[in-house]
A and B are shown apart, each in its own frame.
Chain A
Amino acid sequence: MSNAMATVPASRTWQRHTVGQKLARTALWLLIAVAVALSVQSINVIWEFLWDAPEQMMDMGRRMWPPDLAYYPKTVHAALMETFHIATLGTIFSMVFALPLSILAAHNITPHKGLNLFAKTMLVSSRSVNSLVWALLFVAVFGPGPLAGAVAIACRSVGFVGKLLGEALEEVHFGAIEALKAAGASQTSQILYGYWPAVKPAFWSIMLLRWDINIRESSVLGLVGAGGLGMAMNAAIDTFEWDRVAVILLTIFAVVVIGEVVVTYFRRRLI
């Protein structure tokens, strides 16, 4: 080693990247530029509509103001409770299904390539289909209503919770598990007394995060008929009652803010 170093000529100029790395980076920048240029050129935009936009926004603002506050106790409150139930039930369901899948996906608990791949494929499919698309599917299965929404939320959340929990399980320190194994603990005992205490804080924080996301997502599921605030909003938009839409938007904003406060409070207590 020291011999090789000594032979480097003193006049050598050091460079941070090799020629290959430079080429790869330049190619990437070019690729980004070309992708953006092509997209701008070929995307289907009606420019007259864009110039018209400020006027349209002003018009919408005028129609929204003042918000029809009397509408809240009549319809919006019930829809809000429905949204809350959809999000919470969906989170609870997803927890039930994500636990076994995450155990199957973690290669240190399940040392079986086929099972790992199976669980990971299930989790990826769950994640790549949007909750709105899941809702479309389950509206076709269960009929319109909040039940389809809750199942859709659960199906979308399984992938998220399962992936993060599986990663947390894979990062569990080996020492505790080895100690349990040495004491003759069964697989179940290893999971209950070795893995679970190690991932417990991560688990609750993942569930809280997902609940927060689910509250936001379940407020739009109604647009495809899966119950909750979205259903009320869809009805109001279809009848051009923008003052009612404004009430619903304000409600969603309030819910999101409250959700964030609640989650922050619990996270501080739990972790």
Chain B
Amino acid sequence: MSGARLGPTARGKRSGIRPFHSSWQAKLLAIVVAAYAVYALGQLEFSAERFVKGLDNGARFLARMFPPSYRNGDQIVTGFVESMQIAVLATFFGVMLSLPIAVLGARNLMPAWATWPARLIVTLCRAFNPVIVAIVFIKAVGFGALAGVLALIVASVGFVGKLFMEAIEEISMKQIEAVRATGAPFLSVVTYGVLPQVIGRLVGFCTYQLDANLRNSTMVGIVGAGGIGAALFAGFQRFEYDFVLAILITIIAVVLLGEFASNYVKRIFHV
């Protein structure tokens, strides 16, 4: 602090502004956040007593989790195979749907009458959590993997569609101009002018979305849309916490593997 005061900034000395000194707004914000945290904790019926009891429960819970049990290993395998199927199909059809929607929604390629509906679709797909969408689809097509696939297709359109649309809007228009100057029809403009500029980023979005769909397929299973989530939820309800831990470890391992695989795929397409 004294070092800062010795500094040669005469202006700092006069107005009391010192480098690295937090302003009163920042201090006020910190106080407000702290006060809010205390208030909200009170609202959520949080008490030290309950927390200690929770820790006690947590210790017992952890004790029952270890060691992880792979007794029902075949259940884990079938659950994961279904989760993978859900993730693959949802990513494939989601990306297939988002390609035309993204081209329609890009403001630099299309007039306003086309961009507005496309953007509305993407926003609607993004607005609801996949779990809520899954519940609606379970009502429509019954329990099972199909509801999960449909829910994750919606989520994929929301994510890939939005990012891909933004990627198309950032492309250089010179190449489009060049392709148009040869008299190419619209489809050729897209294939030869737009796609080569965004294909690298599209591959990135797709691998990320496959990864995200695999993770989310564990989540939609909890509400009844198939996959490993169903086995996980059943494990919780039967208090078989060692089985739950086995599933969780497998999920983390698969997600890590998926991250490696997606890096590999990206390398193949970027070279």
Contacts and interface: CB of A to CB of B under 8 A. Distances in A.
Interface string B75-89: 000000010111011
Given A25-B269, A45-B144, A141 B233 contact: no
B145 A45 contact: yes
B128 interface: yes
Interface in A189-244: 192-193, 197, 216-217, 219-220, 223-224, 227, 233, 237
Interface string A1-42: 000000000000000010001001100100010011011101
Interface string B202-234: 000000000000011011001100100000110
Contacts of B132: 219-220, 233, 249, 252
Contacts of A127: 255
B: contact size bracket:
35 or more
* B interface: dominant SS: helix
Given A49-B142, A193-B20, A133 B248 contact: yes
Interface string A49-62: 11011001100100
A234 to B, nearest CB: 9
14 contacts: A36-B92, A39-B88, A42-B85, A43-B85, A43-B146, A49-B144, A60-B136, A127-B255, A129-B251, A130-B218, A136-B233, A142-B57, A217-B129, A257-B127
Interface of A: 17, 21, 24-25, 28, 32, 35-36, 38-40, 42-46, 49-50, 52-53, 56-57, 60, 81-82, 85-86, 88-89, 92, 124-125, 127-130, 132-133, 136-137, 140-143, 145-147, 150, 192-193, 197, 216-217, 219-220, 223-224, 227, 233, 237, 249, 252-253, 256-257
Report the 10 A-B pairs with minimum CB-CB distance, sorted nearest first: A128-B255, A39-B85, A49-B142, A142-B54, A85-B40, A141-B58, A146-B44, A220-B131, A130-B219, A53-B140
